[in-house]
């Protein structure tokens, strides 16, 4: 009976996995479909007479957008870690006054709709003259990543034994030296988790990009995909080919950092 239940659960899991992965397969299928076959009814379930025109369009037109997205993603990761790691350390171990209120503010900040923040940034950037620049997008994307990152760092660093920090202070290390030499190396899993989520948020951002960098030269890949969509023309194979190429870095990062993310997200969930 137990083996039969396990077999049915395995089949059910495979079915759900296939349903969830079908859009990915269909994206690859459409990226290889010829333009004249796009509106065929019923559509081909397999890329018959496959064409690589969409991928040639990616190589010819989308590489600058991919480079911009990479720069924005890495810049967002760097700024997020630089701001969030010390804040998480302070909330977890230094315990300043008003720490509970700050935690509430960080949670509330994640509830603000992105379009509201984008309109506020637009007014500020217009006055500062930083519209249509990738550093402006790095700063905007970091406002989404930093509150989440602070909460992750706080939860993870709360689990670091106080005896370890006390030993560092006994050896003469101050708060900054303790943070740099002890806390950060121990918090590797949290750093990887925060970096991954910050990069993915910046990589997939469209709201900030379309609002703050819609007419600039250094546009991210999300706007590169959007340029293929018009009132009378939708280049679906180019759109899907660009989406496939843009998904590769995110998929590789998720596979490589999977075990670090699992540890970093669940840190602090169980106390001794």
Give the residue-averaged pLDDT of 167-194. 86
Tens-digit pLDDT profile for residues 184-201:
888 888 898 899 999 999
Tens-digit pLDDT profile for residues 83-118:
999 999 988 888 777 777 887 888 787 788 888 888
Question: For the chain, what is the mean pLDDT?
Answer: 84
Backbone angles phi, psi at 234, to 5 degrees: -125, 110
Q: How confident is the model at residue 153 (pLDDT cuts 50, 70, 90)?
A: very high
CA 271 to chain centre: 28
Under 8 Å CB-to-CB from 38, ≥6 apart: which residues? 30, 236, 237
In this prediction the pTM is: 0.83
Tens-digit pLDDT profile for residues 210-256:
888 766 667 888 888 887 776 556 678 888 888 898 888 888 888 88
Q: What is the pLDDT of residue 166?
A: 87
For the chain, the structural domain boundaries read: 62-266
Percentage of the chain beyond pLDDT 90 is 17
Tens-digit pLDDT profile for residues 5-15:
788 888 898 99
Q: How confident is the model at residue 270 (pLDDT cuts 50, 70, 90)?
A: very low
Q: How far is 141 from 197, CA to CA, in rounded Å?
A: 11
Strand, helix or coil for residue 163: helix
Torsion of CA 102, 104, 108, 110, to 10 degrees: 70
Closest CA to 187 of 87, 105, 102: 87
Q: Is residue 19 scored above 80 in pLDDT?
A: yes
The CATH class of 62-266 is mainly alpha
Q: What is the pLDDT of residue 269?
A: 45
Q: What is the pLDDT of residue 69?
A: 92
Q: How confident is the model at residue 268 (pLDDT cuts 50, 70, 90)?
A: very low
Q: Is residue 70 scored above 60 in pLDDT?
A: yes
Q: What is the pLDDT of residue 149?
A: 92
Give the residue-averaged pLDDT of 53-74. 89
Q: Is residue 41 scored above 50 in pLDDT?
A: yes
Q: How confident is the model at residue 272 (pLDDT cuts 50, 70, 90)?
A: very low
């Amino acid at each position: 009976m137990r083996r039969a239940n396990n077999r049915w659960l395995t089949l059910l899991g495979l079915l759900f996995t296939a349903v969830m992965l079908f859009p990915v397969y269909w994206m690859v299928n459409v990226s290889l479909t010829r333009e004249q076959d796009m509106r065929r009814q019923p559509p081909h379930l397999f890329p018959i007479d496959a064409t690589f025109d969409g991928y040639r369009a990616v190589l010819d037109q989308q590489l600058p957008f991919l480079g911009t997205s990479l720069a924005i993603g890495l810049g967002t990761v760097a700024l997020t870690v630089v701001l969030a790691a010390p804040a998480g350390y302070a909330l977890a171990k230094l315990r300043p006054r008003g720490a509970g209120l700050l935690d509430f503010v960080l949670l509330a900040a994640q509830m603000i709709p992105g379009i509201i923040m984008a309109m506020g940034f637009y007014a500020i950037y217009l006055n500062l003259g930083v519209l249509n620049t990738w550093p402006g997008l790095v700063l905007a994307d970091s406002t989404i990543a930093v509150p989440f990152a602070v909460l992750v760092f706080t939860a993870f660093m709360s689990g670091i034994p106080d005896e370890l920090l006390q030993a560092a202070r006994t050896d003469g290390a101050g708060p900054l030296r303790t943070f740099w030499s002890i806390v950060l190396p121990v918090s590797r899993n949290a750093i990887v988790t925060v970096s991954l989520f910050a990069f993915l948020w910046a990589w997939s951002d469209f709201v900030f990009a379309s609002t703050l960098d819609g007419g600039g030269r250094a546009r991210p890949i999300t706007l590169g995909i959007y340029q293929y969509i018009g009132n009378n023309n939708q280049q679906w194979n180019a759109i899907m080919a660009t989406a496939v190429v843009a998904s590769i870095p995110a998929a590789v990062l998720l596979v490589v950092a999977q075990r670090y993310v699992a540890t970093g997200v669940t840190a602090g969930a169980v106390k001794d």
